[in-house]
């Protein structure tokens, strides 16, 4: 309990109702000896902060640790869920939304909030999800498989293809899915190489980041390292074409119409999948605006992949810049739908599926 929580309900009430000890002090000599915040954080399989106030979320997003709850979050290495609860205006405020996004990028999974009437008499988003809903979400979180000793290379983000020294062609990829996969894979114990185009994201602590800009740089970074990898996941939105000429001086404004010739880039995913020796288990993504299944299945065969994760783009929910997504995953003799959820949760499900299929392939 935070100090604010104890203003509403006493720790004694919680203790009597739950039949479990209640911890509420960050620096309590008795508690520190018995079970300080570090040992509490180590002890937990999952950390759930419910209700998560705007204040606690703000502290989490910035790494503050001035009470037991925020210190626990900072010390925790297990999956973390928050169930926000606050006034609708506080929830909608850009500061809160920025903090929520920041927490999600740190791997925190969001439950709710729900819409409805609030304690303050207003109506809107900000009600904490019902405890039953929170428990259901926790039960969905199947434990990650052990990928200890496995090396996984993941490409993420967009690429930038220069037109001249100041301009480039790029796309709307945020890198969130690739980074969430990197986090899920490191959580599962894998050694992760993250080959990333320019993003605003922080890579997971235990991963190795190789920062690139262009498709050609991404190609070189990946191909130099495939031999040391068990799994390759191509989550980057690699440019399919790049300007045929990268002129050394800024292109001047002239005619009403100008043409830029584009040439095809090399398909990193296809080349990894076609490797004759030391070929990693290869997983691709298909982002489509139409005929999702047909294109995905075609890509699976044509590029010789082991698995492909297909998602809609250009729709209201899900896709490139969104915090959530839904995937249909195909392999050669099966497929599964992963329902719309936050990218952290989706990444854990996909990593579990990859581990399962990798295992099946290695035992055949
Ligand atoms: O063929 P398409 O570009 O739709 O395929 C998407 C998949 O291929 C993604 O997994 C993406 O990371 C990968 N890709 C690649 N190199 C390219 C183009 C796409 O690795 N040049």
CATH number of the domain bearing residue 130: 3.40.50.1950
Domain end point (choices 91, 115, 139)? 139
Decide if 120 is catalytic.
Answer: yes
Are 16 and 62 found together in one domain? yes
155 CA: nearest ligand 1 atom: 12
In a domain, 144, yes or no: no
Does the CB atom of residue 310 touch ligand 1 within 6 A?
Answer: no
Are 94 and 214 found together in one domain? no
> Residue 109: CA atoms inside 13 Å, Cβ hemisphere, count?
24
Q: For residue 230, what are the CA distances in angstroms to 39, 225, 227, 359, 362?
A: 34, 11, 8, 11, 11
Are 284 and 195 found together in one domain? yes
Rounded distance from Cα 264 to ligand 1 centre (Å): 12
The average confidence (pLDDT) of the chain is 92
Its domain, for residue 227, covers: 151-245+256-363
Are 59 and 93 found together in one domain? yes
**181: closest CA among 23, 40, 8, 343?**
343
Please check whether residue 325 is in contact with residue 177, taking contact to mean a CB–CB distance below 8 angstroms: yes
Reported confidence tier of residue 29, pLDDT bands at 50, 70, 90: low
Rounded distance from Cα 267 to ligand 1 centre (Å): 6
Reported confidence tier of residue 319, pLDDT bands at 50, 70, 90: low
Does the CB atom of residue 268 touch ligand 1 within 6 A?
Answer: yes
In a domain, 251, yes or no: no
Domain end point (choices 139, 161, 177)? 139
Catalytic option among 78, 103, 120, 146: 120
Please check whether residue 293 is in contact with residue 308, taking contact to mean a CB–CB distance below 8 angstroms: no
**What's the average model confidence in pLDDT over 150-164?**
97
Are 178 and 86 found together in one domain? no
Are 341 and 278 found together in one domain? yes
Each residue of 72-104: b (16+ CB within 10 Å) or e? bbebbeebbbbbbbbbbebbeeeebeebbebbb
Reported confidence tier of residue 243, pLDDT bands at 50, 70, 90: very high
Are 12 and 125 found together in one domain? yes
Q: Given this model, what pLDDT does residue 26 score?
A: 84
Transcribe 92-124 into DSSP letters: HSHHHHHHHHHHHHTTPEE--PEEEE-TTS-EE
Q: For residue 335, what are the CA distances in angstroms to 312, 329, 332?
A: 16, 5, 8
Domain end point (choices 139, 160, 182)? 139
Q: Given this model, what pLDDT does residue 342 score?
A: 85
**268: closest CA among 318, 330, 210, 344?**
210
Does the CB atom of residue 175 touch ligand 1 within 6 A?
Answer: no
Reported confidence tier of residue 183, pLDDT bands at 50, 70, 90: very high
Rounded distance from Cα 235 to ligand 1 centre (Å): 8
Rounded distance from Cα 188 to ligand 1 centre (Å): 25
Does the CB atom of residue 155 touch ligand 1 within 6 A?
Answer: yes
Residues paired with 287 in a beta bridge: 311
């Amino acid at each position: 309990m935070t100090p604010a929580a104890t203003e509403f309900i006493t720790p004694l009430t919680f203790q009597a109702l739950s039949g479990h000890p209640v911890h509420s002090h960050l620096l309590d000599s008795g508690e520190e000896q018995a079970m300080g915040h570090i040992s509490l954080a180590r002890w937990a399989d999952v950390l759930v902060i419910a209700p998560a106030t705007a204040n606690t979320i703000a502290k989490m997003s910035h790494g503050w640790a001035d009470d037991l709850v925020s210190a626990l979050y900072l010390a925790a290495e297990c999956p973390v869920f928050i169930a926000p609860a606050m006034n609708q205006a506080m929830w909608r405020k850009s500061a809160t939304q920025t903090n929520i996004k920041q927490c999600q990028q740190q791997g925190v999974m969001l439950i709710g909030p729900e819409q409805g009437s609030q304690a303050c008499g207003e109506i809107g988003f900000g009600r904490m999800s019902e405890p039953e809903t929170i428990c259901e979400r926790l039960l969905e979180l199947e434990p990650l498989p052990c990928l200890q000793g496995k090396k996984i290379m993941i490409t993420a983000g967009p690429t930038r293809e220069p037109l001249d020294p100041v301009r480039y062609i790029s796309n709307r990829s945020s890198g969130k899915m690739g980074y969430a996969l990197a986090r899920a894979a490191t959580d599962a114990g894998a050694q992760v190489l993250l080959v990333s185009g320019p993003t605003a994201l922080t890579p997971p602590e235990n991963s190795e980041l190789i920062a690139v800009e262009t498709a050609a740089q991404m190609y070189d970074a990946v191909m130099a390292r495939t031999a040391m990898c068990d799994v390759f996941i191509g989550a980057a939105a690699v440019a399919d074409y790049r300007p045929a000429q990268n002129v050394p001086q800024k292109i001047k404004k002239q005619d009403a119409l100008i043409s830029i010739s584009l040439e095809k880039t090399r398909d990193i995913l296809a080349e990894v999948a076609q490797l004759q020796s030391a070929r990693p288990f290869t997983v691709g993504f298909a982002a489509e605006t139409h005929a999702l299944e047909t294109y995905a299945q075609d890509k699976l065969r044509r590029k010789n992949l082991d698995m492909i994760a297909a998602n809609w783009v250009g729709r209201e929910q899900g896709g490139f810049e969104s915090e959530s997504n839904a995937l249909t995953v195909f392999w050669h003799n099966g497929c599964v739908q992963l329902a719309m959820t936050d990218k952290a949760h989706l990444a854990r499900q996909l990593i579990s599926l990859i581990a399962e299929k990798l295992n099946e392939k290695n035992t055949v």
